[in-house]
Structure 1
Amino acid sequence: MKVRGRLLIIAASFLILIGGGVVLFSLQEMYAQEKKTKDSLAQAQERVHNAVNKERRNVLQTEQPLDVSFEQGEAIGILKIPRLEAELPIIEGTDEDELEKGVGHYSTTVLPGQSDQILLSGHRDTVFRRLGELEIGDILQVIMPYGEYRYEITETEIVDADDTTVINSTAPQEILTVSTCYPFSYVGNAPNRYILSAKRLVN
């Protein structure tokens, strides 16, 4: 019995050590993720600030088609969510490297000011952990080096993870679509996607 008791204590201690190691690793990963996001936000803020100092043109007042593009992995702008008091960097691309830095922009969709669908995506456990708190009527702001844009949330939906119908042309209407994995508290690869649709406000 004494031997069994000792074995149980050793086994329990071993499990505690493993559990502690897992928690420590998770905390390190979370810290690294947050640092990448902060660094990307600083880059985006600097890019926007420099553009303002160069007297960027106000694309909201022009009827000419906006012709602009960015390189994969660049911090290209800022997504502000007033209700959540959040300010997030927008990164060109949605590979894992990009999503570790902030909110990814699907390169196959347009950019603000190009009168079609803009698709942004982010992880539910980092940049979009509070996305489910948003409601219809809430405002999303996108600040780019060439202008600022406001969008009003008009619809929310939950779709299958493999559903690609959420990616489609909305021209000539400009729609901002925001996507993240769902359920928010799911452990592992989530089976669904949470989708927000927001129309551009021009006033």
Structure 2
Amino acid sequence: MTFLPRLERLLFICGLLLLATYVAVRIHGTISTRAELRRFGGRVARSTDSPSDFQRWKQSKPDFSLWSSKRIEEFERSTGIGVDSPVAVLRISKVHLEVPVFSGTDDLILNIGVGHIAGTVGPGEEGNIGIAGHRDGFFRGLKDIGPGDAIELQGPKRTDTYVVDRIVIVSPDDVSVLQPRQQPSLTLVTCYPFYFIGSAPQRYIVQASNTNFDPKNFPVSEGMDLGINKQQRHREHTMTGVARPSLSRIYSR
């Protein structure tokens, strides 16, 4: 007669332990992201005369509302694994994004932040800076970016503001979007469609320049205007299937 009450207590204790473990993992993920931003802030503060600029950072945990459950799990699993300090911080106020930029685009880096694409110029340098991120994680909000929106990239020595002037969808092996442009630029890369199930067959490219921009001059690329783009975004929510494109390591899956 005493066996069942003991079993109930044991199961209750196990349930509490599992719940405590889940809460601990979520808290650790939040702390880890904040720690990376603080660590970058410390590096910048030591190399600039304006450390107060970095004390104003809003250090909130990632907004998981648009993330896939798989991406949340990968983020939580990867936080706590040692990585090098971020090389920059990317901010897009339009979509409430603040994320550390790490060097490289391997799985670990793209699970905990976004990655600087090897072979492109680095933050603070003149040229075309390439940054990749997951479409179902930090870069999900790119679907809501439009011409004229501002993107801020804070490097160790300076902060540059870029204005979006081109959005284009390309094939995975089209690396022409990473070539130098007429003015210093920033190119953000993620997979497309955003809600495609499986390996997405295309890449969504957001390009921005640090020069003055007139939204009326927003270029039409690859035969796609903003109206068509909005229709594609609406349809993609119902797309299913598995594509088998030739994926490049510089792009996120």
Report the CA distance between 1:79 and its aligned residue.
0.5
Aligned residue type for 1:89: P
- Show CA shifts across 1:13-38 (max 9, x none): xxxxxxxxxxxxxxx9xx97996586
- Is the strand fraction higher in 1 or 2? 1
Shift of the 32–136 alpha-carbon distance from structure 1 to 2, 3 Å rule, reads farther
- Show CA shifts across 1:174-196 (max 9, x none): 11000100000001110000000
Distance in 1, Cα, partners of 2:179 & 2:27: 31
Report the CA distance between 1:107 and its aligned residue.
2.1
Q: For residue 116 of structure 2, what is the aligned residue in structure 1?
A: 105
Residues 158 and 193 in structure 1, CA contact (< 8 A), matched pair in contact too: yes
- Show CA shifts across 1:89-140 (max 9, x none): 1111011121112111012111233211100000000111111101000000
Map 1:34-183; keep pairs closer than 5 Å: 39-56=32-49, 73-170=84-181, 173-183=183-193
Pick the aligned partner of 1:195 from 205, 218, 228.
Answer: 205
> Match of 2:37, SS?
helix
Report the CA distance between 1:163 and its aligned residue.
1.5
Shift of the 193–73 alpha-carbon distance from structure 1 to 2, 3 Å rule, reads farther
User: Percent sequence identity over matched residues?
Assistant: 32
Distance in 2, Cα, partners of 1:178 & 1:196: 5
- TM-score (ref. length: structure 2): 0.56
- Is the helix fraction higher in 1 or 2? 2
Shift of the 131–53 alpha-carbon distance from structure 1 to 2, 3 Å rule, reads same
Q: RMSD in angstroms over aligned alpha carbons?
A: 2.7
Alignment gaps of 5+ in structure 1: 1-27, 58-71
Aligned residue type for 1:129: R
- Show CA shifts across 1:45-69 (max 9, x none): 3322442255358xxxxxxxxxxxx
Shift of the 84–38 alpha-carbon distance from structure 1 to 2, 3 Å rule, reads farther
Aligned residue type for 1:193: R
Distance in 2, Cα, partners of 1:102 & 1:75: 9
Aligned residue type for 1:51: V
Alignment gaps of 5+ in structure 2: 1-20, 51-82, 213-253
- Show CA shifts across 1:129-165 (max 9, x none): 1111010000000111211110000010001122122
Residues 138 and 153 in structure 1, CA contact (< 8 A), matched pair in contact too: yes
Aligned residue type for 2:48: E
Residues 153 and 196 in structure 1, CA contact (< 8 A), matched pair in contact too: yes
Moved more, 140-149 or 48-57: 48-57
Residues 41 and 89 in structure 1, CA contact (< 8 A), matched pair in contact too: no
> Match of 2:94, SS?
helix
